[in-house]
A and B are shown apart, each in its own frame.
Chain A
Amino acid sequence: MTAFANRRLRVLLAKLGMDTHTIGVTVIAHALRDAGFEVIFTGLKQTAEMVANTAVQEDVDVVGVSSLSAAHMKHLPKLAEFLRQKGAGDKLLIAGGVVPLEDIPQLERAGVQKIFTMGTETKTIVDYLQTWWAAKLAAEQSGG
């Protein structure tokens, strides 16, 4: 366990394009902080490339996008592509907000690994990340 003692999950939360609805992302940021994660917020009106650069500079484990402006099909695949281009394809890319169910398969194929749709409890997101983080630490430990 001691090998994990100083490890702390780092999450980048981002808002892409002209989507300026911040309440959702603020609620998520606080829930993740209360779960003991380090949250970095990009602020509003980011391009996919800006978010990818920030993810590299901050060496986060997770990139989470809040999307409430129906532009997810435009921005999310582009962000996944930029992350791969910049050698950050190993980061967990997740999204939440107003995303119709029928869009999810295509987003998943593009590299978005999990999408939380409208009405998701914050606890569900925290649990998902905690499980993912525990698995990542265990894999690191056994992989050396």
Chain B
Amino acid sequence: MSQTAAGIAAGVLAREIGAGARLIRWLEESDPRGRDALALIYPHTGRAHLIGITGPPGAGKSTLTNALISEQRKRGRRVGVIAIDPSSPFSGGAVLGDRVRMQTHALDTDVFIRSMGTRGQLGGLSRATFDAILVQDAMGYDVVIVETVGVGQDELDIVSLAHSTVIVSVPGLGDEVQAIKAGLLEAGDLFVVNKADREGADALTRQLELMLHLREQTRPHAWKPPLMHTTALTGQGVAALTDALDEHLATLKASGAFTQCLIARNRHMFDSLLRDLAAQHILAAASAQPATAALIHAMQAGQIDPYSAATQLVACMSLQFP
């Protein structure tokens, strides 16, 4: 396999999974070749239906994703999956086990599953994920599914900037609706009660119906989010969920929201990159500035508070801030 940006980009466009996997790795690790290859494949993106799946741990997101892959494959579509699991904040390492539930598709060459750790990157998780989505999009996957545990702002950004956001809940977690973070309820396009054959599914359904009704009262949407029932392990309800996803996609395309979604995602990435680049420049300028050491010293000696120290340093660097 070629290890140049042009070679990998050509491989991605020729739909070689090895090339796609390598490019995702480069992008995740900020390898400069990643950026160059991304520029080459970018014109071929913007076609895939991006589905975000989130919900509390144990809700059955991976099993549901697995069932959705099967149903999408039955409908003749090629499927990419990005499965995100948390990294250890202590070691930075991770055990990524989402794909254990999806190995039935390991021999299907039209399914590409990639696991990602959150790696504790400041604002970088959503960027690395969106990069990976672009790669799978350029590889011609009709559907790209991003699966994540809905904890943390970055993950919320990822699923809420998808075309179709699926919120999965499950009976028996105690205060069921508590498990749906604020923000996710607003972001959800489709709501799923998974493990619907279990005790407590009816109570959960009633609570969700109430919350969706309240949401509709405060913020009426053109799209009324359906509440679906699945048993992902048996595949029960998954065809109906896929029908609803298809219907949502058609609605997005008809209203122009499909493109709007891409624009919002690009804007998010642009802002996030700009923040990083600006921070890099300012931190580099600060460390080259003689006043920095003196200010840090004064702060450690308790002579100046961090707010004043930072403000004074910025003044020294004669940067214009409001």
Contact = CB atoms under 8 A, between A and B. Distances in A.
Nearest to A90: B1
B103 A54 contact: yes
Contact of B99 (A7, A34, A42): A42
A49 B30 contact: no
B93 A38 contact: yes
Given A40-B115, A46-B103, A59 B24 contact: yes
Interface string A1-22: 0000111101000000000000
A99 to B, nearest CB: 24
B96 interface: yes
Interface string B98-128: 0111010011000011110101000000000
A38 B18 contact: no
A53 interface: yes
Contacts of B311: none
A96 B99 CA distance: 22
A116 interface: no
Interface residues of A, number: 32
A90 B74 CA distance: 35
Q: Please report whether the interface of chain B is mostly helix, strand, loop or mixed according to DSSP.
A: mixed
Contacts of B95: 29-30, 33, 39, 41
A54 B106 contact: yes
A47 B107 CA distance: 10
Interface in A56-89: 56-59, 86-88
Interface string B245-283: 000000000000000000000000000000000000000
12 contacts: A6-B29, A6-B31, A30-B95, A34-B90, A34-B91, A36-B91, A38-B96, A41-B100, A43-B99, A46-B103, A57-B21, A58-B21
Interface of A: 5-8, 10, 29-30, 32-43, 46-47, 49-50, 53-54, 56-59, 86-88
Interface of B: 1, 17-18, 21-22, 24-25, 28-31, 87-88, 90-97, 99-101, 103, 106-107, 112-115, 117, 119
